[in-house]
């Protein structure tokens, strides 16, 4: 069975999802959180997928150039794929319990939009200084990761069109892979070899964590100006919200998420990157 819980803007504020609200509060269409539960068995662990669903991303006050904004309707691919995974589970009647948390917001310019220098309190109770309003994906995801853990998930996979740094490093066919469990990452890569999708693990660790600890008025900043390694910095930002005992995988898929020019195999548009590996993980080998 499928069950859906929707948090509207009022509930988002009341429950303390400060960063999701901050990203979406400038839009005419306010933010939403969708928690969709697939109950494949009566009992058992809950695996959670958290999807970035920025329905359009202007960059906010850190405004993108026109060419860079053209494809920003695809900035919700992570959340869209979570919906597709749930459809797959229901059709296949997979005997697993899965929750998809969709973090939905529109990042635009308005008098109410979040500003550089704003300090926001997250669902986890930690504070974040917004340096770059175009680094909004990590903001909505960290509240989603906390929400998933509060709902009982101890396996969390997040999927996002997160950083152009990942695309610069790996190109348009390889997804940047991060996580906090070596065995989980090893199994993920083995599954990917069978599905034919390409992933490459990028580094994390104290070097990158320190790059976002420069704020004098918050626990973290959301950006490391002039430091490089943007994909690793974003992953470490998210890791700050992963609790002890939670197995976590982060997939940064900016490059492979969109087919930018039609090929013999693929039409132009969203590609469904990671779908095959996500489906195989759920129906086959598990690290849980």
Cα–Cα dist 57/183, whole Å: 35
- Average per-residue pLDDT in the chain? 93
CA distances, 155 to each of 37, 77, 242, 258 (Å): 14, 21, 10, 27
Q: What is the mean pLDDT of residues 19-43?
A: 95
pLDDT for the residue 106: 98
> Kindly report the CA angle at 279 between 273 and 284, in degrees rounded to 5?
140
Residue 44 has pLDDT above 90, yes or no: no
Residue 103 has pLDDT above 90, yes or no: yes
Cα–Cα dist 41/26, whole Å: 40
**pLDDT bracket for residue 286 (50, 70, 90):** very low
Residue 28, class by beta-carbon neighbours within 10 Å (0-12 exposed, 13-18 middle, 19+ buried)?
A: exposed
Active-site amino acid positions: 64, 138
Q: What is the mean pLDDT of residues 161-170?
A: 95
pLDDT for the residue 235: 98
Residue 48 has pLDDT above 90, yes or no: yes
Instruction: Concatenate the DSSP letters of all residues of 201-232 into one string.
Output: E---SHHHHHTT---SSSSEES--TT---HHH
What percentage of the chain has pLDDT greater than the value 90? 81
Which one is predicted more confidently, 243 or 68?
Answer: 243
Residue 262, class by beta-carbon neighbours within 10 Å (0-12 exposed, 13-18 middle, 19+ buried)?
A: exposed
**pLDDT bracket for residue 285 (50, 70, 90):** very low
Q: How many residues does this entry show for the chain?
A: 288
Predicted structure pTM score: 0.94
């Amino acid at each position: 069975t499928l069950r859906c819980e929707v948090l509207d803007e009022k509930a988002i504020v009341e429950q303390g999802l400060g960063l999701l609200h901050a990203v979406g509060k400038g839009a005419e269409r306010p933010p939403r959180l969708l928690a969709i539960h697939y109950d494949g068995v009566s009992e058992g662990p809950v695996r959670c997928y958290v999807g970035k669903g920025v329905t359009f991303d202007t960059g906010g006050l850190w405004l993108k150039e026109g060419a860079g904004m053209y494809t920003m309707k695809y900035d919700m691919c992570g959340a869209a794929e979570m919906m597709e995974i749930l459809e797959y589970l229901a059709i296949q009647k997979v005997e697993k319990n899965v929750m998809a948390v969709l973090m939905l917001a529109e990042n635009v310019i308005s008098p109410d939009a979040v500003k550089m220098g704003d300090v926001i309190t997250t669902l986890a109770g930690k504070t974040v200084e917004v340096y770059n309003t175009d680094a909004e994906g990590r903001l909505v995801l960290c509240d989603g990761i906390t929400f998933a853990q509060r709902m009982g998930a101890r396996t969390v996979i997040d999927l996002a069109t997160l950083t152009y740094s990942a695309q610069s490093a790996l190109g348009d066919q390889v997804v940047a892979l991060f996580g906090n469990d070596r065995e989980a990452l090893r199994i993920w890569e083995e599954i990917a070899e069978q599905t034919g999708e390409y992933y490459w693990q990028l580094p994390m660790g104290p070097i990158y964590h320190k790059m976002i600890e420069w704020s004098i008025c918050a626990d973290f900043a959301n950006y490391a100006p002039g430091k490089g390694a943007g994909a690793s910095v974003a992953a470490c930002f998210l890791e700050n919200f992963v609790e002890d005992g939670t197995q976590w995988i982060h997939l940064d898929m900016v490059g492979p998420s969109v087919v930018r020019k039609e090929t013999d195999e693929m039409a132009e548009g969203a590609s469904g990157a990671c779908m095959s590996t996500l489906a195989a993980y759920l129906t086959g080998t598990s690290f849980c």
